[in-house]
Structure 1
Amino acid sequence: MGKKSRTRTRDQVQAATAPGEVGPRQPCPCGSGRRYKACHGAAGGAPAVFVSRPFEGMPSECDVVAMRELVPSATAPLTLADPAYAERTVQLCTLLPMAAPAMVRESGEVWLGLQVQHAFGDPARDLGAVLLRALEAAEAGEAGAVGLTDPPGDGPRLQDLVTGDELAVTVHRGFDFWVADIEDQDSVAAALEQANAAAAPTDKLTSVPSAYWTAMGAKEHLRWVMPEPEGPLLDALARLHAAGRDVLVPDSRLVGMFRAHGLLVPVWDLEPGTGAEALEEPAEAFAAALADALTSDAPLTPEERSARSGLANRQVTLRQ
């Protein structure tokens, strides 16, 4: 009786949630990691505005999402659109020391951190505001951490401040880049060792965009951020899954996917010892097959519909 009651309640909640709305127990779309009812759905809580796909229009949007949500340690140089800052070096980083939103280095370089939760609704606007503050501090010759304590209000978003078509992402095995320009590294050795120990080994595939191999303990995974709209992408993945064409290497398995900043991220479990290099050619072949499947407008077969339902309902826990 209790199980039936719980099922009925769940169905009633789902029916009461219109398409495009967020249920109270679902993750808040702002990316804070909290449930919607405890974040933007809370009375008097976080601001009501949020952007479901905040990094759309950003060079290498999928890699930016990966750097924010998947990759422990990576950097990518940014080219600023404002000619006044043409000579200023700006580095986009996954994580900065003490999780600082931004830092102005003694050299005058500006580092912008992606893995920081402002929870003001639009991470791209937050990053834009932080970048502008850091640039102002750099121009004034001030070094140190820069961040936000209040909602930034209206203003340019990160993609409004940068230019270019693609980011050159470098994945690091640890955070030694934090101290590369520091002479007295002994003073930060303990903190650096702790940070390095917590960073799961990660490699970016070179044959396809925005696909990252990682090893977490004894387990290995491939997590691939894809830019296509969710509906057509799920259809295409279902066609390949039903046909058995989503096995990248022996004993690999497409186990599900998660959503990150408006994009779908399929996840494969891999046999321990696979490594990133063994995935290069299979991933390239899969990308070609997926592109072909995306062009099909044929109705899904019963087997494909079943595969689609299974993939859509197989949510993977996001861990770094």
Structure 2
Amino acid sequence: MGKKSRVKSRVAAPAAEAEVGPRQPCPCGSGRRYKACHGSQDGPPPAFARRPFEGMPGECDVVALRELVPSATAELTVPSAGDRRVLLTTLNPGAAPALVRQDGTIWLGLQVQHAYGDPSRDLAAVLNRALEAEPGSAVGITQAPAADAPRLQDLVSQDALAVTVHDGFGWWVADLDDADGSLAAALEQANAAATPTLRLAQVEAAYWTDVGSKEHLRWAMPHDEDALLDALARLHAADRTRLVEGSRLVGMFRAHGLLVPVWDLEVGTGADALEDPAADFASALEEALAVTEPLSQEERAARSGLANRQLTIR
């Protein structure tokens, strides 16, 4: 059959009634093509959670710790754990999803990719397994939790999250004896990959980091994406996104349903110099979020520029 005949045949042969073509959107509403979703030979992929940590105390910090911060911890209040401590960590030794320490304390690692579609539900499943494990155990999961299984925010009861950012990973071994120096050698490699990072005190989920040739401020924000882009565009068009001399809003990450604006900073800026300017910017942003008038032509251009400088992490 010639090329024209093949094209004509494809056009002239409609799909049977109620049949979904392989290149058509899947009826489940996932946004994927049918052949890559419920029409796949392997079955549908895991359900994707657009904003998996919504409702979690400190949602913005959780996202930042999972994606951006090298070494940090935060205490979790978990009623089902009784009097046992549960510590949310960025990264555990050996990248273990969870570690049950000899004293019964559980370290729950954020920077683990299970690829089951909902990291919060994965973390809850790991935590529940850790609560049943013996001291000294490393715990993980090897299959997706049930669709109705709890998420991490269903297991915790606190109203806020107190984050401690660490200078390296010395907290891994703070309670261990290192008489032969072997632990120090292992830590040296981990610490070498950890860029200096500090959390600002006056605003939520804003993290300064020094990557050597440049410094950055990365600030996870909880607002609706469209509303936040509009507000940032208003401020950007009015030249109000500059935090300190030499700083520049260069774009943003998109991670777990949140936007994370990123500023470039001159070397030597430091975190302390950002505290008051960041608090002032947070106030200006709230004012811009409250504006309901349509964007001006200049503001629309600023919004387009910001939207084009987005990088989706998760």
- TM-score after normalising by structure 2: 0.85
1:145 maps onto 2:138 in alignment? yes
- Alignment correspondent of 1:175: 169
Partner of 1:219: 214
* Equivalent position of 1:6 in the other structure: none
For residues 103-252 of structure 1, the aligned pairs below 5 Å read: 103-137=99-133, 141-153=134-146, 154-184=148-178, 186-252=181-247
Separation in structure 1 between the aligned mates of residue 25 and residue 283 of structure 2, nearest angstrom: 37
Contact kept in structure 1, 2:217 and 2:263, CA below 8 Å = yes
Alpha-carbon distance between aligned partners in 1 of 2:269 and 2:39, rounded to the nearest angstrom: 42
The verdict on how the C-alpha distance between 1:260 and 1:39 changes in structure 2, with shifts beyond 3 A counting, is: farther
Contact kept, 8 Å, 1:46 with 1:120, in 2: the verdict is no
| Residues 254 and 311, structure 2, Cα contact 8 Å, conserved in 1 | no
Distance 1:248 1:189, change over 3 A: same
Query: Aligned pair in 2 of structure 1 residues 221, 299: CA closer, same or farther (>3 Å)?
Result: same
Q: Distance in 1 between matches of 2:161 and 2:85?
A: 14
Q: Distance in 1 between matches of 2:117 and 2:223?
A: 23
Among all aligned residue pairs of Structure 1 and Structure 2, give the percentage whose two residues are the same amino acid.
67
Question: Counterpart amino acid of 2:70?
Answer: P
Question: Cα offset for 1:21?
Answer: 6.5
1:207 CA displacement: 0.8
Q: Which residues of structure 1 form unaligned runs of 5+? A: 1-15, 25-36
Identify the residue that residue 63 of structure 1 maps to in structure 2: 61
Aligned partners of 2:95, 2:44: CA distance in 1, in Å?
21
User: Contact 1:73 / 1:93 at 8 angstroms: preserved in 2?
Assistant: yes
- Give, in angstroms, the shift of residue 296 of structure 1: 0.4
CA contact (8 A) 1:212 1:222 kept: yes
Give the partner amino acid of 1:152.
Answer: P
- Secondary structure of 1:103's counterpart equals strand
Question: Aligned to 1:112, what secondary structure does the other structure show?
Answer: strand
For these two proteins, the number of residue pairs brought into alignment is 286
- Which structure 2 segments of 5+ residues have no match? 1-23
Equivalent position to 1:94, from 90, 95, 105: 90
Cα distance change of structure 1 residues 42 and 247 upon mapping to structure 2, 3 Å threshold: farther
Question: 1:64-84 CA deviation, whole Å, 9 max, x = no partner?
Answer: 0000001000000000133xx
Distance between the aligned counterparts of 1:40 and 1:65, measured in 2? 29
Give the alignment's Cα RMSD to 1 decimal.
Answer: 2.4
Question: Quick one: distance in 1 between partners of 2:200 and 2:25?
Answer: 39
**Which secondary structure state, in structure 2, belongs to the residue aligned with residue 163 of structure 1?**
coil
Pick closer, same or farther for the CA change 1:49–1:309 going to 2, 3 Å.
same
